[in-house]
Amino acid sequence: MMDWTDRHCRYFHRLLTRHTRLYTEMITAPALAHGDVPRHLDFDPAEHPLALQLGGSDPALLAHAARLGERWGYDEINLNCGCPSERVQTGSFGACLMAEPALVGRCVAAMRDAVSLPVTVKHRIGLDDGLSYDFVRDFVGTVAAAGCDVFIVHARNAVLKGLSPKENREVPPLRYDVVHRLAQDFPGRTFVTNGGLNDWRAIDRELDAVDGAMIGRLAYHDPWTLQQADPRLFDAEPPVVTRAEALMEFRAYAARQIARGVPLRAMTRHILGLYLGQPGGRRFRQVLSDARRAQDRGIAVLDDALREVEPMAEPA
């Protein structure tokens, strides 16, 4: 979800659910050691509960990044061992780390020693064409022994050469049974299923077998899915009842951000799917994607989009 789940996206998603845990896009430990830390780590307090997802393989750098995350007020530190991008691999980040469970264990131990926050790991179930359950079981066992209690498992292999990140989300087959087996073999740990959960039926199925479910592209492309999370999972009222209400709350946020110099497009790109599947949804996206109109109308383009879609929108 790099370049997707930035602070503006997360604020919008928090308008739809108060209780689900949000994750940052992956931020590399070297970037926090040598770059603009506030630009990478600042977030709105409304985003809690919020996990900082880190990329890296140097225990000292990751410990430093975790300390920064704790200082900034994050609720969890998550190490990404699942991203298959070749760009990430060149920095020894992401899924390639599954081949080095002892190193991942040292990274986890270093972060746990550095902070009081939970340190969690996101990973795949295997690498390339390997189908051995022993591989992922031993990886989890080694990392658990280093102090990791929570594993977010993308239920596909990562193919490190020859497939794009998009193809890595589609070509390797989903094997949810592997995640279920891990949960059975490590009963003292928490397992969260990720990958291919495209509707509430799939989410509910996984919640019957493991401790949690993580969604990414479903939440991004069809964000209204999140509006059902609080009543379905947390026995709580949803924060908004209609899409129009969510849009108007986001409008107030966008106006504050524009006053700070944030471009409108940096925010509206995250809400294009709000009316997905609704009559007028295509026109809603067209209005928000019109660069000339946004330049002329500014924040009022959100009002324009709402006027286009609401007469045709179905009740929430």
Mean pLDDT computed over 213-230:
97
Mean pLDDT computed over 281-303:
94
Q: Is the pLDDT of residue 312 over 70?
A: no
Q: Is the pLDDT of residue 143 over 50?
A: yes
Q: What is the CATH number of domain 7-219?
A: 3.20.20.70
* Contact of 228 with 240, CB cutoff 8 Å: no
Average pLDDT, the chain: 94
pLDDT digits (tens, 9 = 90+) for 145-199: 999 999 999 999 999 888 888 888 888 999 999 999 999 999 999 999 999 999 9
Length of the chain, in residues? 316
Mean pLDDT computed over 58-84:
97
Q: Is the pLDDT of residue 313 over 80?
A: no
Q: What is the pTM of this model?
A: 0.93
Parse the chain into domains and list their residue ranges.
Answer: 7-219, 243-309
Confidence of residue 89 (pLDDT cuts 50, 70, 90): low
Q: Is the pLDDT of residue 315 over 50?
A: no
Alpha carbon distance 162, 129 (integer Å): 12
Q: What is the pLDDT of residue 142?
A: 98
Active-site amino acid positions: 83
Q: Is the peptide bond before 101 cis (omega within 30 degrees of 0)?
A: no
Q: Is the pLDDT of residue 248 over 60?
A: yes
Q: Is the pLDDT of residue 206 over 60?
A: yes
Alpha carbon distance 217, 137 (integer Å): 27
Confidence of residue 305 (pLDDT cuts 50, 70, 90): very high
DSSP string for residues in the chain: -TTTS-HHHHHHHHTT-SSSPEEPPPEEHHHHHHS-HHHHH---GGG-SEEEEEE-S-HHHHHHHHHHHHHHT-SEEEEEE----HHHHTTT-GGGGGG-HHHHHHHHHHHHHH-SS-EEEEE-SEETT---HHHHHHHHHHHHHTT--EEEEESSEE--SS--HHHHTTSSPP-HHHHHHHHHH-TTSEEEEES---SHHHHHHHHTTSSEEE-SHHHHHSGGGGGGHHHHHSS---S-SSHHHHHHHHHHHHHHHHHTT--THHHHTTSTTTTTTSTTHHHHHHHHH-HHHHHHHTTHHHHHHHHHHTTTPPP-
**The domains spanning 7-219 and 243-309 adopt the same CATH topology:** no
Place of tokens 């061992």: 81
Q: Is the pLDDT of residue 314 over 60?
A: no
Q: What is the pLDDT of residue 163?
A: 83
Mean pLDDT computed over 22-42:
95
* Long-range pairs for 257-266: beta carbons < 8 A, 24 or more residues apart: 257/8, 258/298, 258/299, 262/8, 264/294, 264/298, 264/299, 264/301, 265/291, 265/294, 266/6, 266/8
Kindly report which listed range (147-151, 208-212, 239-243, 290-294) carries the lowest average pLDDT score. 290-294
Mean pLDDT computed over 206-233:
97
* Long-range pairs for 196-200: beta carbons < 8 A, 24 or more residues apart: 196/155, 196/156, 199/225, 200/225, 200/228, 200/232
Confidence of residue 88 (pLDDT cuts 50, 70, 90): low
Q: Which residues, 6+ apart, have CB-to-CB distance to 205 below 8 Å?
A: none
Q: Is the pLDDT of residue 316 over 60?
A: no
Q: What is the pLDDT of residue 166?
A: 82
Q: What is the pLDDT of residue 22?
A: 98
Strand 126-127 to strand 157-158: parallel, antiparallel, or no bridges (unpaired)? parallel
Which among 132, 129, 148 is positioned nearest to 140, based on CA atoms?
148
Confidence of residue 83 (pLDDT cuts 50, 70, 90): confident
Which among 152, 157, 162, 189 is positioned nearest to 174, based on CA atoms?
157
Fold of the CATH domain 243-309: Four Helix Bundle (Hemerythrin (Met), subunit A) (1.20.120)
Confidence of residue 1 (pLDDT cuts 50, 70, 90): low
